Structure 1
Amino acid sequence: MARRTWSRYPRRTFYLFVGPWVLGFLLLTAVPLVYAFGVSLTNFDGSSPRWRWVGLRNYSELLGDHDAWAALIRTIGFTAIAVPLSVAGALGLAVLLNRRLKAVGLWRTIFFLPSVVPVVAMAIMWKLVLNRDAGILNAILGVAGIHPIRWLVDPMAFYALIILTLWGLGGGMVIMLAALQGVPTELEEAARVDGAGRWRVFRHVTVPMISPVVFFQVTTGVIATFQIVVQPLLLAETNSISGVGQVPQSTHLYMVQVYQEFFLDNRFGYGSAMLWVFFLVILAFTLLVQRSSRLWVHYEVDSDADR
């Protein structure tokens, strides 16, 4: 039987494979972005055909909107707390589950399962757990003699949102676990031979080797955490998601403010302006993280810029 030789695929094969992604990007990302920018230059209310061009008035109004800027500051603070805790927690779980344990596969599955639960179901579940009168958490604290805590109102609502965010560490844990298993054991053994303890090996050998994966986790974590909106809405003490006014001030994040402008105040033009400004803010923070990677991310092969 003749051996099959490699052949060069025609150029149309390349376009055939990338075509679905390009089409999806254009229809689901590029076109909506352009449309949203156009809407941000109008006073469109989402339903009435009577709308008019207002230019940059929505953006100038946003500059003086104290509620929007306060929500943005709260979002930045929440991100500054949630992302490091999420990355550190995922790395800690990965280190624990990278050992030779009995039924390690079962433990990995148990820790990973919460990350595949839909966010709506997870938020409703935690709302029941954190309920002041019937929640299981207050029931456990009551056994210890601690009075019931109102987790879903200020100031505890912020910590409840942090708990909900950290509940889905399993996805990051799997990525960190794959990175840890890719670290050459020869490097760690050489460090131990030189007299390094377990902590020094982890700090000076393991962490630098997996720093590109940590960088990926930080970047995606910042982008995702900035855009949180469903969790604060569903954790609020209200019977309907439309009750955004009941969201505690500590969890009234920027996207919650955007939700209010769109669906409660029917200010689609102003809400679109808020989203475009938020897009630029997220882009700026992403570039800042990218810039800082030069100080703490180590690659096995140096980039051309460093040669």
Structure 2
Amino acid sequence: MDKVDGNFDFKSSTYSEVAQLVDVAERVILERGIRFTPQSVLHKLFADARKLDRDWRDSSRSPSLVTGINSVYAEKIARIVTDLIDAPGVEEALQRIAGSDINLSHRLKSQGKDALWELSLLTTLLRKQISAELVDPPDIVVELQMGSYAIACKKIYELKSLFSRLRDGAKQISKSGSPGVIALNIDDLLPGDHILTSQSPKVALDILSRETKSFFQENFAAFDRVREKSCLDGVLISASTISDITETSTRLNLTTSFNFYPFRNEGLGRARFLGLVRELSPAEVIEAYPSRFIVHQ
């Protein structure tokens, strides 16, 4: 199996912009009738984003590292919520996010983090102007030129469950009646207390992508056991981590890589897989890098 590699997008917001974004996201959550209490982890993350903005404007205060990290996570969640302001069928996922331990630094299994992975991928697709919606099964269905394409979203918390998660994802795609891919998130296999340090967003992305590649190679046997499923064209592996990037205005950022691994060397399955890749990346990237593809956001 080869790997498909490419471009990245990077956004760096000011602390004031993040605080304003959090305010909008909180209004959206309440307007949708989502239960959102002051005791929730999400409420704490949003509060820390506002606190960081206040502390940054007050030169007598020194923001804590935890507050800064929580603000990064708050921005990620708030941006997803506001991007999906008019999206149908996302209330259940939003409720799971609002009512669970959604602290992304904690390496604990969480229905909220499972839901966040689904909505994070959904917003990535929608930002690229790809027609996509939540459908069960599999989890997400996108409309490509070749027709409906299924995406089963799986988040893994321990290596011993990798094959079972891949197997379950393949079953979800089979039940959907459409071919597709498994979208596997491995954030919780990375150190929760680690900050990736780099000079630029691209360097941070390259480091994270190498980690993802190593994960795939070291666990190739698990992927190989599901690759012959006729409905399954390949796998997307996503990894995110807090990064300290020296050339950005806000030093703490969230670096996310998407690595795609096709299961077919030729034929319709490979064409479908690369069709999804092309939708997520400019055409010139695919032509320049026919064997590798990464998206950074």
TM-score range, shorter chain: under 0.3
Q: Decide which structure has greater strand share.
A: 2
Q: Give the TM-score normalised by structure 1.
A: 0.23
Q: Give the TM-score normalised by structure 2.
A: 0.24
Which protein shows a greater Rg?
Answer: 1
Q: Which has the higher contact order (CA 8 A, sep 6+)?
A: 1
